[in-house]
Structure 1
Amino acid sequence: MTGSTAPKWRRRKEARPGDITAAALQVFAEKGFATARMEEIARRAGVSKGTLYLYFETKEDVFRAVVQEAVVPNIEALRGGVLALDLPFADIVRLFLPRFAQIATDLPVGAVAKMVIGESRNFPELAKVWHDHVVSHAIAMLTALIERGQQRGEVRSGDPRLHAFSLMGPMMLGVIWRETLMPVGGAPVDLAELARQHCETVLNGLVVDGGKP
């Protein structure tokens, strides 16, 4: 069988794990973890089910690969860029939150986060992977940024980790709102506008008097 009539997976000399994880990200986002099927992931990746199992023994293995290949690189790029900036704390926050909003809009990160939250009781390994490779790194990045601001006298005193939670709380609420409530009629939330407005609100509380909020 040749030409366009050949199955997509046969036209490839070798399947690439990246194709599989990209397909799995979409399937997990749409169907959740429990109802996602390896057959569907294989079909969307354009490979046979047998080929899929050459790379991943279980659906949990696929999820770990999705996090490592589709989510972690974005977090690490954001982390490296933010911590490398030698700018006032307020300026960095104004760059960081809109960038986070863009990532959450461009990638189905919110849908995966919703899946992890909803299915963590039955699949605690999902929550552990999400915590260990995504959330803990993001919070550590923000905590380091706030600690640096405190050392420079730009940020008010207080537990920097708790300040990090205050910084990201409304943004995560916006992400979950979009994934959970908008599909059933909830009023739309513009993440970019939320980021802009929240920047000014949170900076008024975090930046010390005499700073440049």
Structure 2
Amino acid sequence: MSSSPPSSATHPDTPGAPRRGRRKEARPGELLDAALDLFVEKGYAATRVEEVAARAGVSKGTLFLYFPSKQELFKAVVRKNIAGRFGEWDLELEAYEGTSSELLQYCFQTWWERVGSTKASGLGKLMLHEANNFPEIADFYRQEVVEPGHRLIRRVLERGMDRGELRRLDLDHAVYLVLAPLMFLMFAQPIPSLCIPDATRFSAPEYIRLQAENVLQGLCVRSA
């Protein structure tokens, strides 16, 4: 007596396969997206892994298959949204062929498009609020985000100085000329009315453009 053909439910690649078999590879990304939302909304301390799992539509046990602790989950969120981008940004800097003024304007605009205007900008604000209570993740954030960010800005400024397009400045302090306007914009979100009286008329892209021009006024070599 011949056996009946196997059910399609036993083959994950068939149209009738169980959803969990087809979604296995997608789950880490879904968990990281849910975790980013909750960390930014509630902060690190108040976010529970059960909430992250529920928002991603999986069990807490499934979450722990990918991320063994809340701390590791947070680190993965930071790497995906900010820290993991520095390699890409370093390559862009090496390949950039424009002037130093164009490069600095590009850096301001790119930061806004890829970080500042996204939920990832809330991670920096979270760290400033909770760093004292969680020194280990504060050290991680400094090593993975703050220090590489400073090094990247230093490289941009050094490039301009070596090309004779930017004035020679103390780089330990000059990096903050670039960072300061971006930090203001980060803190102005997500409630701009706290920092900007007429927030309805405020344009972040226009602010970015003006700040880049303002910084360049101080950095560029002045003609005789």
Which TM-score bucket, shorter chain as reference? 0.7 to 0.9
In the alignment, the residues of structure 2 paired with residue 173 and residue 122 of structure 1 have an alpha-carbon distance, to the nearest angstrom, of: 24
Q: Is the radius of gyration larger for structure 1 or structure 2?
A: 2
Q: CA deviation at 1:184?
A: 5.2
* Matching residue of 1:182: 192
Note if 1:195 corresponds to 2:193. no
Note if 1:21 corresponds to 2:32. yes
* Matching residue of 1:110: 121
In the alignment, the residues of structure 1 paired with residue 87 and residue 106 of structure 2 have an alpha-carbon distance, to the nearest angstrom, of: 16
Q: CA deviation at 1:142?
A: 1.1
Please say which of residues 98-107 and 82-91 is displaced more in the overlay. Answer: 98-107
Runs of 4+ in structure 1 deviating by more than 6 angstroms, as ranges, are none
* Amino acid corresponding to residue 12 of structure 1 in structure 2: R
* Matching residue of 1:11: 19
* Matching residue of 1:83: 94
Consecutive unaligned residues of structure 2, counting only runs of 5 or more, are 1-8, 10-17
| TM-score normalised to structure 1 length | 0.86
| TM-score normalised to structure 2 length | 0.82
In the alignment, the residues of structure 1 paired with residue 192 and residue 137 of structure 2 have an alpha-carbon distance, to the nearest angstrom, of: 24
Give the count of matched residue pairs.
Answer: 202
* Amino acid corresponding to residue 186 of structure 2 in structure 1: V
Match of 1:34, SS state, is coil
* Matching residue of 1:6: none
* Amino acid corresponding to residue 219 of structure 2 in structure 1: L
* Matching residue of 1:70: 81
Residues 104, 156 of structure 2: 8 Å contact kept: no
Match of 1:156, SS state, is coil
In the alignment, the residues of structure 2 paired with residue 59 and residue 118 of structure 1 have an alpha-carbon distance, to the nearest angstrom, of: 18
Q: CA deviation at 1:183?
A: 6.5
Q: CA deviation at 1:154?
A: 1.2
Q: CA deviation at 1:59?
A: 0.8
For the aligned residues, what is the CA RMSD? 2.2
Which residue, out of 131, 134, 146, partners 2:157? 146
State the identity as a percent: 31
Residues 192 and 166 from structure 1, CA distance in 2 versus in 1: closer, same or farther, beyond 3 angstroms?
Answer: same
Note if 1:210 corresponds to 2:218. no
Residues 61 and 111 from structure 1, CA distance in 2 versus in 1: closer, same or farther, beyond 3 angstroms?
Answer: same
More helix by share: 1
1:123-153 CA-to-partner distances (Å, cap 9, x unmatched) read: 1122212211112111101101111211111
Match of 1:24, SS state, is helix
Residues 102, 192 of structure 1: 8 Å contact kept: no
In the alignment, the residues of structure 1 paired with residue 194 and residue 94 of structure 2 have an alpha-carbon distance, to the nearest angstrom, of: 38
